[in-house]
Amino acid sequence: MHSAAVVFGLALVLFVMTEAFEALVLPRRVVRPFRFTSFYYRHTWRAWATVAFIFPVGRQRQTFLSLFGPLSLLVLFAVWAAALIVGFGMTHHGIAPREGGFADGLYLSGTTFTTLGYGDLTPSTPFARTLAVVEAATGFGFFAVVVGYLPVLYQAFGRREVFIALLDARAGSPPAAGRLLLRTPPTEDGGSCMTGFLAEAERWAAEILEAHLSFPVLGHYRSQHDNQSWLAALTCVLDTAALLLTVVDRGSRAQARLTFAMARHTVVDLGLVIRRPPAPSAEDRLSDARLAELLTEIRAAGVVVRDDETTRAKLAELRALYEPFVTGLGRHYRLKVPGIWPVDEGPDNWRTSAWVRRAGPLDALGADPKDEHFR
């Protein structure tokens, strides 16, 4: 018996099983000095994002970045399976060395782990037979957990994307808080609509936090459209709540406070998970001039606003509570953070398609390009 091979092989198996359990089964964040999964995602994503600069800015680069999430998950599963086969193979070789050396032990491990069992190599001692049974059970359980993990992951992804799709008509693409306040103004007629949106946004932010903590790879899964993202939607929710708590004189202040607290909790905790510190924004997302224009537009929509130094200072204070964390997340995931009241206005995603662009984008849908409800 080669004791060193047995010890090293069992240690490798135990290490991989611990990593897989923490990543796939344990529904909470693990805090310890080193985790292979975190190391793997941190460095592979950095390399992948660097290679993405080869592609021109636009759809090609976004498509390349979108491949990382699903592909990295499949590669991680393959690395875990290969490491388990090697670990068990070293243990088989250490317990009962064969003429073929470690290669025979590795082959026996591979056929046992995958439950192929050709029978050309079989364990020859009671200890080796016990190890073979344990490895077969481990392989079966590993593949069962992986198969069960993927549907849960994509269900969480689907729930995340539903809210993002709803923001298209409400706040545009990319979503902007200024457009959201104009399309669903917090007046007597539209106040209930805004309150309902804030309540739904609070629950969605809580689901984002829980899903991304349980499945960190979800942060790398991108939305169906390049001008949409979970980070842009979360930022729009925070911007809207901040405006309602400051410059808007009437509105769902109680619900806005709850939504703001939940959404800020989400961006702060996600930054801690990926070890991304807050970062200053490269540009002002709402200059004084744009804020004045936004207040004028909101006032024209029938909303009572407050515009004084105290209110503007309060708005700046609220923005400082979340914007650095949003900027840090955006730089890490290579996601663009939208402005609060952007200058450039593009059509909403629901108004365009490959066929509509050829036939006339708005006439075919029966929508007026100057409709104030869909500016």
Query: pLDDT tens per residue, the chain (375 residues)?
Result: 688 888 999 999 999 999 998 888 877 665 665 688 888 999 999 999 999 999 988 889 999 999 999 999 999 999 999 999 999 999 988 888 877 788 988 999 999 999 888 878 788 888 889 999 999 999 999 999 999 999 999 999 999 999 999 999 999 889 999 999 988 888 765 567 888 899 999 999 999 999 998 888 999 999 988 889 999 999 999 999 999 999 998 767 889 999 999 999 999 999 988 888 998 887 889 998 999 999 999 999 888 889 889 999 999 999 999 999 999 999 999 999 989 988 877 788 888 765 554 434 444 444 443 444 444
Angle at 214 between CA 208 and CA 220, to 5 degrees: 65
**CA pair distance 266, 269, nearest whole angstrom:** 5
Q: Which residue has the tokens 């796939």?
A: 24
Q: Which helix (H) or strand (E) holds 17?
A: helix 3-20
Q: What domains lie within the chain, and their CATH numbers?
A: 3-149 (1.10.287.70), 172-344 (no CATH)
Q: How many helices (H) and strands (E) does the chain have?
A: 13, 0
pTM given for the model: 0.85
pLDDT, residue 340, reads 93
**pLDDT one-digit tens code per residue, 317-349:** 999 999 999 999 999 999 999 899 888 777 888
Alpha-carbon distances of 98 from 52, 103, 116, 124, 195, rounded to whole Å: 47, 9, 20, 10, 72
DSSP string covering 301-342: TT--B--SHHHHHHHHHHHHHHHHHHHHHHHHHT-PPPPSS-
- Token couple for 201: 């946004």
Cβ neighbour number for residue 281 with a 10 Å cutoff = 14
CB 259 within 8 A of CB 197: no
Helix (H, G, I), strand (E, B) or coil at 125: coil
